Amino acid sequence: MSLKQKLDNFREEHKDKKWFPLFSGFHTFLYMPKEVTHGGTHIKAADDLKRTMNTVIMALIPCLLFGMFNAGYQHNAAVNGYTEGMSFFSGSFWNMDNFLIGLIKILPLVIVSYVVGLAIEFIFCIIKGHEIEEGYLVTGMLVPLIVPVDLPLWMLAVAVAFGVVIGKEVFGGTGMNILNPALTIRAFLFFAYPTWMSGDKVWVQGARELAGTADAISGETILGSLAQSQPLHYSVSDMFFGFIPGSVGETSTLLILLGGLFLIFTKIGSWRIMLSSVIGALVMGFIFNQVVAMGWITETSKFYGLMSLDFWKHLLIGGFAFGIVFMATDPVTASQTNKGKWIYGFFIGFISIMIRVFNPAYPEGVMLAILLMNVFAPTIDYYVVQGNVKKRVKRLKAKTA
């Protein structure tokens, strides 16, 4: 008898036990579910929740690995000053020391995210007596990628506990939440510990232990600099490839773009939401550029830096690209109708750039824009459906008249 058969028998014998969801969670994670559809009346497909979550994680892995390299690079760039002449093929960047520095700092973030989040998921499943759901597999990976690399682990643990309990479990678990869990966790960190989430410092290993020298080897992110109307010191290629300071997984627009194409190809991510978000951001950025061109905003204004930035460059900086690819497309919290997805995505992009410009204290608007539109997604779908119903009623009346 194989190990899988023994586990299946054990599963059948103990399915009424209180702790059974704990065993079932590990069992279904390692093996295909025992219950599958049969007969011609069922729709058969290779995808299920576990495969869907694993596919998203596959799209996130390149961002994670690059984030580890970039964390080490930002350390060495700040300490050694080799920021000039960098390119994607530069040997200075692909130094293994860069990866090891980032690995040592980022791997604990991933471990804490999964351990705390999955522990709470298992506890709730045992209390409620329902099956373990794979929804946190993606959330657990997203969270370390959207926080600063130097975030204390205890803060991350507290935020994950809040996000899982308040953001998801109180609504009934995976598939029932109205807000994206990963962004709920980041929002908690932003409002509870704003000095750690402002993004105005570049993490450098050991900087906090070097008394009196931390400020000398730290620096602001691009958004932080532009919010203070300082000049942009990074090239377009730096911003596109990801050689810029920022949250772990949000810097490389190239890898995010490839991940988005992979999600579209596998039919997991909505291209309508991604494209409409980009359109909304470009429209808002173009409007701001025209305001500056007409002289309504001068260089003395605190909004000048981000308003005067070329509208298309907003797509390359901050967490905008990462947000619209991996979080705005969340099938649970996004709009479900095709027309609703266009409206939903457009307003995410439009509002993101608006918040980015008008909130210099926190010049990153994609998080708040997605959470806001998560709330309005059901309303958007409702009016889209009602509009379709009215059109059909009119057509029916026209035919019967």
CA dihedral (150, 153, 159, 161) in degrees, to 10, reads: 160
Cβ atoms of 206 and 199 closer than 8 Å: no
Say what the pLDDT of residue 58 is: 93
Say what the pLDDT of residue 84 is: 46
Query: Quick one: which of 219, 214, 247 has its CA closest to 233?
Result: 219
How far apart, in whole angstroms, are the C-alpha atoms of residue 386 and residue 42?
30
Q: For 86-90, what is the mean pLDDT?
A: 53
Q: For 168-187, what is the mean pLDDT?
A: 83
For the stretch 198-232, pLDDT in tens is 655 545 555 444 434 444 444 567 777 777 777 77
pLDDT band at 135 (very low <50, low <70, confident <90, very high): confident
Residue position matching structure tokens 């608006």:
354
Q: For 307-324, what is the mean pLDDT?
A: 91
Q: What is the mean pLDDT of the chain?
A: 80
Q: Fill in the DSSP letter of residue 244.
A: S
CB atoms near residue 85 (< 10 Å): 7
CB atoms near residue 73 (< 10 Å): 29
For the stretch 65-87, pLDDT in tens is 999 988 888 877 777 665 544 55
Helix (H, G, I), strand (E, B) or coil at 41: coil
How far apart, in whole angstroms, are the C-alpha atoms of residue 315 and residue 292?
19
User: In which element (H, E) is residue 208 found?
Assistant: none
CB atoms near residue 184 (< 10 Å): 24
CB atoms near residue 206 (< 10 Å): 12
Cβ atoms of 253 and 321 closer than 8 Å: yes
How far apart, in whole angstroms, are the C-alpha atoms of residue 86 and residue 97?
16
Helix (H, G, I), strand (E, B) or coil at 339: helix
Q: The tokens of 361 are what?
A: 């204290």
Residue position matching structure tokens 């994609």:
366
Q: Where are the alpha helices (DSSP H) in 294-337?
A: 304-308, 320-326
